Structure 1
Amino acid sequence: MMSGAIPDIRAIELEVRPLLVSGRYEEAEAIVRPYLASGTGPLVLWKLLAAALRPQGRIAETRVIQEMLVAHVPGDFPARFDLSETLLLSGEFERGWREYHYRYSLAHTAHIERKVQRPRWDGRAMPGKTLLIHDEQGYGDTFQFMRMVPWAKEKSGARVVLEINAESLSLVRRSAGFDEIVVRGTLPPAFDMHCEMMSLPMALGLRLHDLPGPIPYLSPDPQRVERWRQRLADLPRPLVALVWAGRPTHPNDANRSLSLGELAPLVQAGVSFVSIQKGPAATQAGSPPDGMRLLSLSDEIDDFEDTAAILSVTDLLVSVDSSPVHLAGALGRPVWVMLPKVPDWRWLLDRADTPWYPQMRLFRQDLRGDWSGVVSRMAAELARCRAR
């Protein structure tokens, strides 16, 4: 691994890292490759090479390097986390979930780890005891992994206390699998063991064929549904909800988001669109593509209860990879997801469906950064659906 003299590794890093940040992966690879041509070289250069290969979609090559890094330095937790995402992306759940635990060893995620003076639940039966399950990451993660709370209750035989973020609390109250629910930031009742929501797959031994489980597992508020049904009653059908950008602070946002103008090919006679886009990108709804009948609801949406009700009234959600996708899936609503060339691990590889949500279709980029093919295929499919 460490044989062979490498000139000024720090200089190579300083040259390559800006290329990775700016998405110039082929250039980064071209710089690093010669130093590793013999099959040996410093670990830091192998890490840079893996970081250049993965966004190009060269997953098998990336995995070989990641496996080598973990084998040589098992205490390199960021390398183990990188491997976990590659394993999960490849559908190798058993080992992938184990390695995914190392997410708490990263500089940008260490702050979210719950410091709990109780053991983490490992899937054992614990009748007569109390299990605390707590969410930990984004809203979409909460919606996606909520399905496993009833599974954990059944397997553990325990009394389950669910700790949830305030924004999702009222929606999650109507779901199943817990005996008590508390809001994150408050003191939970006494418990014997705990488990992060996204560690439930490891504790449960989740496999691909265990998915999706019962769908829907979240439900909208009937009063909100009626309110939004009346609000949208005059719009011609089909009624398509749109989300074209994710949270700007997300580390992968540049890779997953696009502009409203890029959705212009979706414009078709008789189709009505409603924007449920939040954040800075919502202002784009003020200047929709020519011919697009678009009603912006962004300023009228107060919380996820409103979003859930709108999704229950509309015919389809078209969205980038963001929390409304998981909310729609958990509600059992039809949703089309626009995915980058190399997506987040949960969407797997080379498939137009997902085991997580049976009502969901995936539209993937053929070329990195090119949304035109994705939108063109969606437009054609929308036309076919209307013709049926």
Structure 2
Amino acid sequence: MNPEPTDNQTLFQQVDELLKAERWAQAEAVLSQALCSGSGPIPLWRQLYVAYRQQGNIAGATQVLEMIVQATPGDLHSRFDLAEMLLLQGEFTRGWREYRFRYRQDHTRMFERHIRQPRWEGQSIIGKTLFIHDEQGYGDTFQFLRLVEQAQMRSGAHVVLEVNEEAYNLAHGVRGYHQLMKRGTLPPPFDFHCELMSLPAALGLQLSDLPGRVPYLFADPARVEKWRARLADLPRPLVGLVWAGRPTHANDKHRSLALADLAPLAQEGMTFLALQKGPAAEQAVTPLAGMSLLSLSDEIHDFDDTAAILRVIDTLVSVDSSPVHLAGALGCPACVLLPFQHDWRWLQQREDSPWYPEMRLFRQLAAGEWKTPLQNVAIALKKLKNKPE
């Protein structure tokens, strides 16, 4: 039995070891006893927040963060965590307001673009130029390009839209911009700017506003015909597979799988297509027993290829990664495998997504337990196979 800690620093170190070992319940028990008076050092309360969140106690985690933010308004890390908790619960008004702190933390300051012109806050700026620029990951870009048209209508401005090079071709189909440019090129003079993921706050986006116009991205018709011909002789249904996200993602350990983990999805009379990119794509070299699998990884050169494939196949099965958001923006069917601790944008206890009408969510019921969601995806695929033409 561990000796009772003699001071807060010893207690912090003890709990830190428990958290690193992912012994969430034990960490909560130690902290609950130490903080039972309702007071105590903020670092201990932050540890309690982590223990709550990792166990799925979102209400408790939110309550702790509310207390921390009230006590120390300058704790920007906690304010951003609070934003994610609020958005996870569909509390968009406060959530978007706190989300602006995403670039105010020590480890994110380097990602903020320092622009002298004021940020657009949703007001009418007829006759002015509004520079909208993307940020963060590819999935974020695909998800929030939907708001460019609304921003133009609300502002009345001449809109210059800047996106990363990988999304540039697809962004041509977005409504609402007057000039499209690639990140890294010099923009024309502008009066106001807004990050793509600050548009929800500027527009006052609510759950009831979703999904809006879908699809809002469109695959290149020539690419679609190319891939339709490429896949024409394969037995349907055609199911795309993406089993791993970006390795550097903070939650990749919990959200990504190995291809072998998808073995329960194998069914006769169904063709699986590996759409995986990155280091995990090499796993497709080893076939899975009972699964008719064709790897397209080496043939996919960009998101335009991925978009075209998504338009041809019957459904995508994927972990939370950029192809999921691309499928959603294209209005293509997708089954998304979500870890127990998932991103805020998937909300809670829903099998659907308000962002994407053609999407179904398959959630872990406990951390690390993929058996149930994979079984449920297999059932959904069987129904797809038996669906009349």
**Is 1:282 the counterpart of 2:281 in the alignment?**
yes
Q: Is the 8 A contact 1:80 1:102 kept in 2?
A: yes
Pairing 1:70-219 to 2, within 5 Å after superposition: 70-219=69-218
Q: Residue by residue, what CA displacement relative to the aligned partner does 1:246-282 show, whole Å, maximum 9, x if unpaired?
A: 1110011011111111111111110100011111111
TM-aligned CA deviation for residue 382 of structure 1: 1.4
- Cα distance in 2 between the residues matched to 1:305 and 1:18: 45
**Is 1:225 the counterpart of 2:224 in the alignment?**
yes
> 2:257 is paired with a residue of what secondary structure?
coil
Structure-2 change in CA distance of 1:348 and 1:233 (3 Å):
same
Q: Is the 8 A contact 1:121 1:194 kept in 2?
A: yes
Q: Is the 8 A contact 2:128 2:190 kept in 1?
A: yes
TM-aligned CA deviation for residue 22 of structure 1: 4.0
Q: CA RMSD in A?
A: 1.2
- Please, which runs of 5 or more residues in structure 1 have no aligned partner? 1-5
> 1:350 is paired with a residue of what secondary structure?
coil
> 1:242 is paired with a residue of what secondary structure?
strand
**Is 1:240 the counterpart of 2:205 in the alignment?**
no
- Cα distance in 2 between the residues matched to 1:17 and 1:196: 35
TM-aligned CA deviation for residue 328 of structure 1: 0.3
> 1:220 is paired with a residue of what secondary structure?
coil
- Cα distance in 1 between the residues matched to 2:347 and 2:250: 19
**Is 1:386 the counterpart of 2:380 in the alignment?**
no
The one-letter code matched in structure 1 to 2:322 is S
TM-aligned CA deviation for residue 227 of structure 1: 1.1
Pairing 1:264-343 to 2, within 5 Å after superposition: 264-343=263-342
The one-letter code matched in structure 1 to 2:108 is T
Q: Residue by residue, what CA displacement relative to the aligned partner does 1:3-39 show, whole Å, maximum 9, x if unpaired?
A: xxx8433333333334334433223223322211222
- Cα distance in 1 between the residues matched to 2:131 and 2:170: 19
TM-aligned CA deviation for residue 360 of structure 1: 0.3
TM-aligned CA deviation for residue 42 of structure 1: 0.8
TM-aligned CA deviation for residue 383 of structure 1: 1.2
> 2:248 is paired with a residue of what secondary structure?
coil
> 1:337 is paired with a residue of what secondary structure?
strand
> 1:338 is paired with a residue of what secondary structure?
strand
Q: Is the 8 A contact 2:120 2:192 kept in 1?
A: yes
Q: Residue by residue, what CA displacement relative to the aligned partner does 1:166-193 show, whole Å, maximum 9, x if unpaired?
A: 1111111222210001111111000000
- Cα distance in 1 between the residues matched to 2:232 and 2:19: 48
The one-letter code matched in structure 2 to 1:240 is V
> 1:161 is paired with a residue of what secondary structure?
strand
Q: Residue by residue, what CA displacement relative to the aligned partner does 1:218-269 show, whole Å, maximum 9, x if unpaired?
A: 0001111111111111110000000011111001101111111111111111
> 2:106 is paired with a residue of what secondary structure?
coil
TM-aligned CA deviation for residue 381 of structure 1: 1.7
Q: Is the 8 A contact 1:262 1:372 kept in 2?
A: no
TM-aligned CA deviation for residue 283 of structure 1: 1.1
Structure-2 change in CA distance of 1:303 and 1:21 (3 Å):
farther
Number of matched residues? Answer: 383
Residue 38 (structure 2) aligns with: 39
- Cα distance in 1 between the residues matched to 2:17 and 2:143: 34
**Is 1:56 the counterpart of 2:39 in the alignment?**
no
Structure-2 change in CA distance of 1:21 and 1:197 (3 Å):
farther
Deviation larger for 371-380 or 280-289: 280-289
TM-score normalised according to structure 2 size: 0.96
Q: Is the 8 A contact 2:148 2:174 kept in 1?
A: no
The one-letter code matched in structure 2 to 1:266 is L
- Cα distance in 2 between the residues matched to 1:14 and 1:123: 45
The one-letter code matched in structure 2 to 1:59 is I
TM-aligned CA deviation for residue 78 of structure 1: 0.5
- Cα distance in 1 between the residues matched to 2:296 and 2:142: 22
> 2:37 is paired with a residue of what secondary structure?
coil
Tell me which stretches of 4 or more aligned residues in structure 1 moved more than 4 Å: none
Q: Is the 8 A contact 2:142 2:326 kept in 1?
A: yes
Q: Residue by residue, what CA displacement relative to the aligned partner does 1:77-126 show, whole Å, maximum 9, x if unpaired?
A: 11100100000000000010000001111233211111000100000000
The one-letter code matched in structure 1 to 2:314 is D
Q: Residue by residue, what CA displacement relative to the aligned partner does 1:287-343 show, whole Å, maximum 9, x if unpaired?
A: 232011111111111111011011111110000000000000000000010011121
TM-aligned CA deviation for residue 202 of structure 1: 0.2
TM-score normalised according to structure 1 size: 0.96
Q: Is the 8 A contact 1:264 1:289 kept in 2?
A: yes
- Please, which runs of 5 or more residues in structure 2 have no aligned partner? none
Q: Residue by residue, what CA displacement relative to the aligned partner does 1:26-82 show, whole Å, maximum 9, x if unpaired?
A: 232233222112222111100000011101100011111010001111111111001
> 1:146 is paired with a residue of what secondary structure?
helix
- Cα distance in 2 between the residues matched to 1:262 and 1:24: 24
The one-letter code matched in structure 1 to 2:206 is R
The one-letter code matched in structure 1 to 2:203 is L
- Cα distance in 2 between the residues matched to 1:177 and 1:19: 50
